[in-house]
Structure formats: C-alpha cells, structure tokens
Amino acid sequence: MHSGSSLNRAAGGLLAAVLACALVPSPSAATVSAVSKVHGPLSPLLVQLQKEEVRSQSPTRQAELLGLAPEGAGSLLRREGRVVVSVRFDHGALARRGEVEEAGGRVVSASRAHQSATVAIGPARLRALAEVPGVASVRPLRTPLLFAANCEGGSVSSEGVAQLHADAARTQFGVDGSGITVGVLSDSYARDTGAATDAAEDVESADLPGSANECSGQTTPVNVIEDLSEPGSDEGRAMLQIVHDMAPGANLSFATAFESEEGFAKNIEKLASAGADVIVDDVAWFEEPFFQDGPIAVAVNEVASEGVTYLSAAGNDNLFDAVENEIASWEAPAFRDSGGCPDAIEKLSGFNGTHCMDFDPGSGVDETFGITVQAGETLTIDLQWAEPWEEVDTDLDAVILSGAGKILTGSTEGNTGPTGTQRPLEILQWVNSGATKTVQLAINRFVGGNPRLKSILLQNGGGVSAVEYPRSSGGDVVGPSIFGHAGAAAAIAVGAVPFNDNGEPEPYSSRGPVAHYFEPVEGPVAAGPLSTPEVLSKPEIAATDCGATTFFAFLSGGVWRFCGTSAAAPHAAGAVALMREAAPTAGADLLRESLVGTAAPVGEFGPCAVGGGLVETVAAVEAAREEIAPGDAEVCAAAAVGPAPPNPGGGGGPAPIVLSPGESPPVAPDTLILRHPRKVVLIRAARARVVFRFGSSQSGVTFLCKVDRSAFRACGARTVRRLASGRHALKVKARNSSGLVDATPAVFRFRVVSAG
C-alpha cells in the first residue's frame, strides 16, 4: 500500500513537471520525453538522466526535472555521487563484472540465480553500461520505504517486533510507548570506538531517539545517567535499540551496571528517580548471593514497590549433556562429610584435609565431582552455601584436580570471623589449554557446620559437556542456574526464544527455580532465616533473541545479531512499555499478571524453562486495558528444593518438615467446578467473557487450568477467560500443599455462538 502511494506521488510529480515545461528554460524539455515509450536497455527515466542537460545539474535539480522527490522515500538511490541501478542480464551476470566496471560501474551485489546485479554508476556512463554484452535492462533504484523500519525502530528492526506481535499491538491499540520511560542497565552506551556504528549514527538512522532523528516524537535523546568509565562493548546501546524497535515512542535512559555491585544498585535507584517506568538489565555479578536477596535485588524490590516494572535477563548458563540432561548446577541439602579428601588435599599444610564433601547422594562415598571441560574452554564455578551475609560461620574451600589427582587450581578464601570475607562464596576458574579433559572438583570444609550448598557452572551456555552426577537424586538438585537479582521476587526474569523458532527456548537460556532461605541483605547486620524457604518460580516469561541490530554482537549473513537473554529482556521491556501506555491505570501487579498470564506456549516446555511462555503483546495489552488478570501461570518448583537442614555452628535455617510416626501420607485432592457459564453463550462482540469458580475437597489448594488445546497453567479459584466463537472445553485440577495433583481433572464443555 505504501509503495503504491509513493509511486502515485512520484507519477504526480512527473506529470506536474511535464505540464510546467513551457515555463522553464530548455533543460526541462527533457521531461517531456520521459513519458514516451523507450525501447532499449535503459529505462525512460535513465534515458533522460543520462542526457547532458539533465546530468549536469545538481541532484536536487535533477530530481525536479525528472519529477522525483529530491530525497527520502522514492528518490533516486545514490551512493557517493552515483545513482544506484538494477541491471538484468540475459546471461552471464557474474561473468560480466569486469566489463561493467570498465563501463564505469561499481558492482554492489550480484545474483546468479536472478541474473541481475546492483550497480552504482555516474549518469554520464549509463549508456556505456547499457551497451555491455548481455545487459537486458537497466532501471533506477529508489530510496526504499522504511515506514516500519525507519520511524518505528530505525534502519534495522529486530524480528522480535513481529514474533512478539508488538507491531500488531501498536496498530490495534494505537500505542508506541509514548509517555513511558524505559531505563536500561548494562555495560556501556558509547564506549566502543571500534563498533560498526556509534550512538550518533544510530540516532541519525532512527535506530535510537535524539535530535538528529527525523521521525516525529523521537527527538528526545537517550538520558545517559552514567556511562562506563572505561572502554566497553556498548551492549546497553544494543538493548536500547531493541526497546526502541518494540516501543519507538518511549523515552530511553541508560546507566552502567559494570562499575561495581553497589554502583549497580545505586543506578537502579537513579533510573527510577529520573522517571523510569520500566527498568531492564542484563548483568549479573558473580558475588550476588544464591540463597537470599543481595543489595542489587534489594534495590530491584524497592523500585518495584514504588510502581516500576523491573525485568532482568535470566542468564545464559544452562548446559546440556549428550543425553539432554540439564547440568548447569549441582546442589546438596547439606554438606556431607566424607571423612577424607583426595591425597593431594590431605597433604596440603594448613588445610583441614580430612573433611571433604561426599558427592554421592546414595550409600557410597565420592570425594570428587567429575566435570568434562572441552578443548580451549574456561571452566568457571561459582560455589555458595546457605548462610547469610555477615554471619558466615562455615569456611569451605574448593579445588580443581586433574584426572591423575594433581591440583590444577583452587579458591581458598577465609570466609569466617571478623577478618574473613563474611560471604559464603568461592569462585574458581581454570583454562583448558589442551584437549577435552575431565577434571575433578573437591570441596573441603575448613571449619563450620553442614550448610546447604550449591555450585553453578557459569559457562555462558557452553564449554562443559558432562558432569559426574547429571540428574537430581537423593535430595540433591541438578540443573537450575538462575541466581542473584534475577531471582528476586519483584524481578521478571526473562528467558530466550530464537527469533525464527517459537517451538523451543535457546538451549543456553537459564532454568529455574530459585530458593531463598534468609531475609534480604539490608546492611552490615546479618539477616535472619525465613520461617519457611521461599521458592520462586523462575523465569517468569520468555522473549526473542538473536534479532537484528546495527552493530551488535556478531555478523551472520550480513546482519548484526544480538543473542542471549540479554536481548530477550529488552524485547519484553518494550512490550511492557506498550502495556503501560495502553493501560495507564493498571497497577504493577496487573501488568505483571497480564504479561505472564497471556504468554503463548513454547512447544512442550514448562515454566522452569520459559515461565508463562513467549510474550504475546496483543493479548497482554488487551488484558491490562480491560483490567482482567488472566490468572497465574503454571509455576516452576523443583520437587527436591526443600528446607535447609539445621546447621550446627553455621548460619542455621528452618528445620525440614517430616511426618510424625504413624501419620498417613497425604492424598491428592478432588476438584470441583462451582460456577460456569451456560452451555451455549451468545455474543454480539468478538469474544465472550466467561467466568469460572473452582473448589476442592481439601483446603489450601491451588488450581491448574487448561482451555481447549493449551497447556495446563496455574489459575485462580475465580478465573475469567475471553473466548471467540466455537466449541470450548475447560479442564481444571487442584494441587495441594504437598504437591499432589488431582489425576482426574474436572471438565466443562460449552459453545460460544455469535448472535450477530
């Protein structure tokens, strides 16, 4: 439609030039013959352009004489003073490159399949180009229409705009993020001097807002609150491009998260103080705690309590072994003292070398944990245990040994006492400079108790191909790798789904859940234990990654593609900006529920991989506008994640829940549908609003609902759905506090019929 309109306008201009020819000096007479039928390789317009009385004029005057727009969409496409033309050959397109260049042309690209070439050439050499053997036709190329790409996201637009239906939401609801401010936290904004584009160029191409952006409503520049003080990759600028693609009318802010953990937390608060309605980040510090909210998470929770929607990249740390086990982490409910250590550790002076972790969750004893590291890769292990910051009474050390038992590296921080780190943390790295090797992790208890402990392989999705214990068993948990502030209750952790495949998440997208055992870190005084562990369903949502940008992070097929949950998070943030504009009275909780509860299934993957599913912007905006929460999504809660055991001499923790002698095991609940619509629902609108209410034979249950062919998802005891015409079936099953689910869901079948 837009192309046709432009061509009509161009034709109108040409006709105007023809009608006015008698009023101008003779050069304009050339325009009269521009409408005549010309037989030959050169198009009529090029026949006129190559004439001396036209080509000798300025480009602006040439356009006037030819009845064309002088610049912008529809104007002659030019490169370095030359016009760009499309040349069609009857044969030998690629073989004629030398002859085209001899004629004065510069080949921009060529296609054997289409027997064509794009050529930049001076107007005076057009006739020579047409005379090259094999040339069938030569026509001008116009500056293309970039309506969606130019003023709705810039010269390069991420495919996530279409995949998440942000373009449809903008059209349907008339929103573009105007009046909403999105703040981004990453490494840097304008510190990469070697990037393919810089920030100023991104503004000029409308890929970022700013004074040089010629698009209406996009002239407010990015508010850079603090940039990195040293060179960076400008990943923050790439994230801002994605937000701008999704919500081109939104105001944008940036602050670095790379200066320090404390600086990260402060910049969260600064962005909120500067008016950010939505904040998104893609940074995690190794030192952020696994088992409680640290300073960054506290800042996240604080700004969220003030109404900010906060999103964070879930992480790129998931790993698979050869048989598809998720092996990125290992967690034990307690330190199991093997009563010994490998010989190399027992011989170390100054070590308590007879107290190493027993990694075997069964009846055996295993003093090491095998990890297979691929050739040329760096192994990174983040080991933490369940004691609160500032009250660390257990000192664990970690060592990596070769297959022959030789110590390769280790981390032996002093964690306890007034001169210790007071952080339950050891970080190890080892570079495998040779062939693939299986190394052995050993964990030694220097002093203290038997706290819960967990290690995560922070491999950015690769480099480790196998571990010795690849599956959860005996109370040990293997797999979940989301940690830090992405695991905060108020943060929306975002997983990644490739831009060209809605059926599965990226293999590296980190999995949940997250479990907290202590109150948040509020200062220099240790936080107390939670009365019961807080198991948080993570991630909450998934969004697009590997979409196109102008410069970041790698070239693929001539396109710069930005992959990882770092790219997914700003896509989701852009969707929230559209939601906030469309539903200005919706509270933060409703926005979150609408985003998560309307998400589309991602194949057969569950909430531990994709949360509620892939962002569905149209449905999310509609739910927020109508202020109808679509119900909670199905939760991610690994069965083996449980209470931390008592920790004599350590940070403690709540005691496990056990059955009393003679107590009967729990049974699954029965499910009831207490309220439902009529069997036939008549509608005059596009969709019917139907209300259900559920009950159970047990108290304290939650419910899982399935409508038609969708997956079972968590829903409330009162659930509202909006359904189109057709036959529908709702299934619901109750789940009790022990995790037992009704094996026979209650079912209600009905029809929605249009009365119009």
Q: What is the average pLDDT across 105-132?
A: 86
> What's the pLDDT score for residue 756?
64
Instruction: Name 237's Cβ contacts closer than 8 Å, sequence gap at least 6.
Output: 188, 189, 190, 199, 202, 208, 254, 551, 552
Q: What is the average pLDDT across 141-150?
A: 39
- Confidence label for 280 from pLDDT (cuts 50, 70 and 90): very high
Does some domain include residue 605? yes
**Rounded alpha-carbon distances, angstroms, from residue 410 to 71, 338, 353, 400, 441:** 64, 19, 14, 6, 9
Higher-confidence residue of 68 and 399: namely 399
> What's the pLDDT score for residue 523?
83
Whole-number average pLDDT of the chain? 86
Count how many domains the chain has.
4
Handedness of CA 622, 626, 631, 637 (dihedral sign): positive
CB-CB contact of 340 with 352 (8 Å): no
Question: Residue 740 pLDDT > 50, yes or no?
Answer: yes
First and final C-alpha spacing in the chain: 31
- Comparing C-alpha atoms, which of 210, 198, 225 is closest to residue 552? 198
pLDDT in tens, 32-64: 333 444 567 888 788 889 999 999 998 888 888
Q: Are strands 407-411 and 547-549 parallel, antiparallel or unpaired?
A: unpaired
> What's the pLDDT score for residue 655?
30
Same domain, 124 and 21: yes
Using DSSP's 3-state secondary structure scheme, residue 222 falls into coil
pLDDT in tens, 358-410: 999 999 999 999 999 999 998 999 999 999 999 999 999 999 999 999 999 99
Does some domain include residue 456? yes
When mean pLDDT is compared across 11-25, 61-75, 141-155, 414-428, the lowest value belongs to: 11-25
Please report, for the domain that includes residue 581, its CATH number. 3.40.50.200
When mean pLDDT is compared across 132-146, 373-387, 539-553, the lowest value belongs to: 132-146
Instruction: Name 601's Cβ contacts closer than 8 Å, sequence gap at least 6.
Output: 613, 614, 710, 711
- Confidence label for 151 from pLDDT (cuts 50, 70 and 90): low
Does some domain include residue 166? yes
- Comparing C-alpha atoms, which of 384, 361, 608 is closest to residue 480? 608
Same domain, 575 and 621: yes
Q: What is the average pLDDT across 3-17?
A: 27
Same domain, 37 and 88: yes
> What's the pLDDT score for residue 69?
65
d(C-alpha 339, C-alpha 357), whole Å: 8
Query: Which tokens go with 225?
Result: 């609150």
* Cross-strand pairs, 454: 331, 384
Using DSSP's 3-state secondary structure scheme, residue 94 falls into coil
Same domain, 409 and 341: yes
Q: What is the average pLDDT across 710-723?
A: 82
Q: What is the average pLDDT across 485-506?
A: 97
Handedness of CA 603, 609, 612, 618 (dihedral sign): negative
In the DSSP assignment, the letter for residue 28 is G
Same domain, 22 and 89: yes
- Comparing C-alpha atoms, which of 432, 538, 530, 425 is closest to residue 479? 538
Domain boundary among 476, 510, 525: 476
Does some domain include residue 724? yes
Question: Packing angle between helix 617-626 and helix 588-597, nearest 10 degrees?
Answer: 140
Same domain, 109 and 22: yes
Question: Residue 231 pLDDT > 90, yes or no?
Answer: no
Does some domain include residue 495? no
When mean pLDDT is compared across 91-95, 443-447, 563-567, the lowest value belongs to: 91-95
Does some domain include residue 523? no
Higher-confidence residue of 351 and 609: namely 609
Q: What is the average pLDDT across 121-146?
A: 81
Using DSSP's 3-state secondary structure scheme, residue 265 falls into helix
In the DSSP assignment, the letter for residue 26 is G
Please report, for the domain that includes residue 375, its CATH number. 2.60.120.380
Same domain, 152 and 109: no
- Comparing C-alpha atoms, which of 558, 551, 512, 554 is closest to residue 534? 512
Same domain, 691 and 733: yes
Domain boundary among 560, 594, 626: 626
Q: How many CB atoms sit inside 10 A of residue 315's CB?
A: 33
Higher-confidence residue of 652 and 74: namely 74
Same domain, 449 and 344: yes
Domain boundary among 608, 626, 644: 626
Instruction: Name 77's Cβ contacts closer than 8 Å, sequence gap at least 6.
Output: 83, 84, 140, 141, 142, 143, 144
pLDDT in tens, 654-674: 333 233 344 445 688 889 998
Query: Which tokens go with 741?
Result: 């689910």
Find the domain containing 710 and state its range.
671-754
Select the highest-mean-pLDDT range: 5-14, 315-324, 619-628: 315-324
Same domain, 276 and 347: no
For the chain, percent of residues with pLDDT exceeding 70: 88
- Comparing C-alpha atoms, which of 119, 121, 46, 43 is closest to residue 81? 121
d(C-alpha 549, C-alpha 558), whole Å: 11
Does some domain include residue 509? no
Question: Residue 25 pLDDT > 60, yes or no?
Answer: no
**Rounded alpha-carbon distances, angstroms, from residue 427 to 32, 287, 716:** 78, 9, 42
Question: Residue 508 pLDDT > 70, yes or no?
Answer: yes
Is pTM, for the whole model, over 0.75?
Answer: no
Question: Residue 4 pLDDT > 70, yes or no?
Answer: no
pLDDT in tens, 251-271: 999 999 988 888 899 999 999
Question: Residue 566 pLDDT > 90, yes or no?
Answer: yes
Question: Residue 559 pLDDT > 50, yes or no?
Answer: yes
Please report, for the domain that includes residue 750, its CATH number. 2.60.40.10
Does some domain include residue 30? yes
> What's the pLDDT score for residue 724?
85
Same domain, 188 and 213: yes
- Confidence label for 649 from pLDDT (cuts 50, 70 and 90): very low
d(C-alpha 269, C-alpha 304), whole Å: 10
- Confidence label for 153 from pLDDT (cuts 50, 70 and 90): low
Using DSSP's 3-state secondary structure scheme, residue 301 falls into helix
Same domain, 195 and 289: yes
> What's the pLDDT score for residue 60?
86
> What's the pLDDT score for residue 39?
64
pLDDT in tens, 442-477: 999 999 999 999 999 999 889 999 999 999 999 999
